[in-house]
Structure 1
């Protein structure tokens, strides 16, 4: 993927994150790992790999949150996103 495509995907995942923060009963630390990265879609100066890593971390946390809820089968997705986040960490 090109950097602009990754930023777009990153933006979409942040919108899903906002949904969980606003509509679901989400604990404050639900997205703590993503927040500590300090990389958001508006940080276009960040590298492609930083956005990619943020996508995997956020994806893992979203999948984890979904697996706690009504989407039980997504637990495997969360585990895979965590693996990808670790592989792409600097």
Structure 2
């Protein structure tokens, strides 16, 4: 996958994470390993490898949040703020 494609995918996953955060499925703590990488979708000068690692980590975090939400009998409360958990 080309670097520009990875950046685009990274941005799309960031949008999904914002949606999941707003509906209460994703907590900001779920993204701690992703944030530790220090590469956001806006890090255009980041290397291809940095974006690839970030995409993998972000996708894993999103999958984990969705999976735990499916198994959770209680419903989460939606978040009122619209700030993205990825770019925050």
Fold match by TM threshold 0.5: yes
Aligned residues: 72
TM-score by length of structure 2 reads: 0.74
1:24 aligns with 2:54: no
Describe the SS at the equivalent of 1:55.
Answer: helix
The Cα RMSD (Å) is 1.8
Offset, 1:26: 3.5
Higher RCO by CA contacts (8 Å cutoff, separation 6 or greater): 2
Deviations 1:1-44 (A, max 9, x none): 11000000000000011111111253331111111111011101
TM-score by length of structure 1 reads: 0.73
Gaps of 5+ in 1: 73-90
1:43 aligns with 2:43: yes
Q: Which stretch of structure 1 is more off in the superposition, 55-64 or 24-33?
A: 24-33
| Cα distance in 2, alignment partners of residues 35 and 8 from structure 1 | 18
4+ long deviations beyond 2 Å: 25-28
Return the structure number with greater helix share.
1
Paired position in structure 1 for 2:56: 56
Gaps of 5+ in 2: 73-88
